[in-house]
Structure 1
Amino acid sequence: MTTTGTTAPTRHDRRMFAVMNDGRASALYATATRRRTAVAGHAVLTAAGLVAGIGAYATDHRWPAFVLLALLLPWCVATGVINGATRGLLELRTRVLDERQVAERDRVRARAHRLTTLLLASAFGVVAVGHWTGRADAGTLLAPVLATVFVAHCLMPLWVAGLGVRDEPEQEEELF
């Protein structure tokens, strides 16, 4: 753990660094396929949670809220797997990261920002076309579309970082 800033890491920083770099669960994200699966699963769980949350908001039924609660635990596990794969790149404070990690985090955030901008433009286009063609009322679509874009904006850096993680270098065996 190296510091890039002038402030020394706190006890909380050291603990979070240890948690994010704990290798006991590394089998869950050891290969690119497993990391992609974790990101895809996280995205699917997020989409299902959004549908359930919007369903609970839009209807008088309670069951979508229970579906949302049931999805919460696997969603948290998938989030932990991605955070473990990225070694806490987005969760750790800057003072705990080295210069390479800070630069990587900046690249991830920039790429996620561009993707979220495209998503926002697409969402605007869908709502506008739906309203102009008379197929949907823009007011009806506003809350679900805004909720979806907001969640994507918050999670896109995590997904981009999870998909961009490189495999760990293989350990060389000693010849002795």
Structure 2
Amino acid sequence: MTTTRLTRYDRSMLRLMNDRRAAAWYATAARRRLAVAAHVTLTLAIGGLMTHMFLAEGEPLWAVAVMAVLLLPWMVATGVINGATRGLLELREHVLDERQSAERSRVLARAHRVTTLLLAAAAATLLITGGIAGDAPKAYAAPLLIAVLVVHWVMPLWVAGWRAQDEPADDDALEPGTPGR
């Protein structure tokens, strides 16, 4: 951390992001990747329901109810990923140490590359579909652009959660047979 004084907000966020009470949820790489996969799945489900609402005729109030129900596990998965990364993307830059700051830069760069490819694929899909149909598919343009925007927003979280490393072992615990104890 730098010598910048931490505000009350910074201290509370640092405490929250370093709270290890839920560490069992993200203790292993498999659990962290499961949390990321669940978050991706829930994001896709909520996005699909929003697209259905946008394109459906009539009153799709059931979609709003399902989205509201899916939002709670989505928020839990977000918290699990944030806990696994110790708030890498949620903490302010001056709160992070040099290693965390470098990791944040790597995560943001990789997420930017993935999102760029996704945006290129979305544009190509609309252009190809428009070329085949003879007209741009205007009804799908807005949901597709919103979906890409949402993915752009959460991609750094997914990349950070996927790349998160295991916690280092305690220094107090020596290997069996190690002299010194």
Taking structure 2 as the reference length, what is the TM-score of the superposition? 0.91
The AA in structure 2 aligned to 1:25 is: A
Say what the alpha-carbon RMSD is for the aligned residues: 1.5
In the other structure, the counterpart of 1:42 is 39
**Could you tell me how far 1:7 is from its partner in structure 2?**
3.2
Aligned partner of residue 167 in structure 2, secondary structure = coil
- Give the match for residue 9 of structure 2: 12
On the 8 A contact 2:54/2:143 being kept in 1, the answer is no
Matched residue, 2:151: 152
TM (norm. structure 1) is 0.93
Of 18, 21, 44, which residue of structure 2 is paired with 1:21?
18
Question: Is the 2:127–2:136 contact (alpha carbons within 8 Å) kept by the matching residues of 1?
Answer: no
Q: Which structure would you say has the larger Rg?
A: 2
Q: CA deviation at 1:46?
A: 0.2
Distance 1:151 1:136 in 2: 26
Deviation digits for residues 90-141 of structure 1 (CA, Å, limit 9, x no counterpart): 0000111111111110110010000000000001111111111118842111
Q: Deviations over 1:47-92 (max 9, x none)?
A: 0000111212222321111111111000000000000000000000
1:82 aligns with 2:81: yes
Name the structure 2 match of 1:56: 53
CA distance in 1, matches of 2:74, 2:134: 34
| Cα separation, 2, equivalents of 1:136 and 1:83 | 43
Preserved contact between residue 55 and residue 139 of structure 2 (Cα < 8 Å): no
Q: Distance between the aligned counterparts of 1:128 and 1:82, measured in 2?
A: 35
- Is the 8 Å Cα contact of residues 127 and 138 (structure 1) preserved in structure 2? yes
SS at match of 1:103: helix
CA contact (8 A) 2:23 2:84 kept: yes
Corresponding residue SS for 2:13:
helix
Instruction: Determine if contact 1:56/1:64 at 8 Å carries over to the other structure.
Output: yes
> 1:121 & 1:56 partners in 2: Cα distance?
25
Point out where structure 1 has 5 or more consecutive residues left out of the alignment.
Answer: none
Flag structure 2 segments of 5+ consecutive residues without an equivalent.
175-179
2:125 and 2:135 mapped to 1: Cα distance?
Answer: 10
Deviates more, 1:56-65 or 1:44-53: 56-65
Alignment identity in percent?
Answer: 53
How many corresponding residue pairs? 173
Query: What do the CA deviations read for 1:133-159 (whole angstroms, capped 9, x no partner)?
Result: 118842111111101100000000000
Q: Distance in 2 between matches of 1:20 and 1:140?
A: 41
Q: Give the partner amino acid of 2:101.
A: V
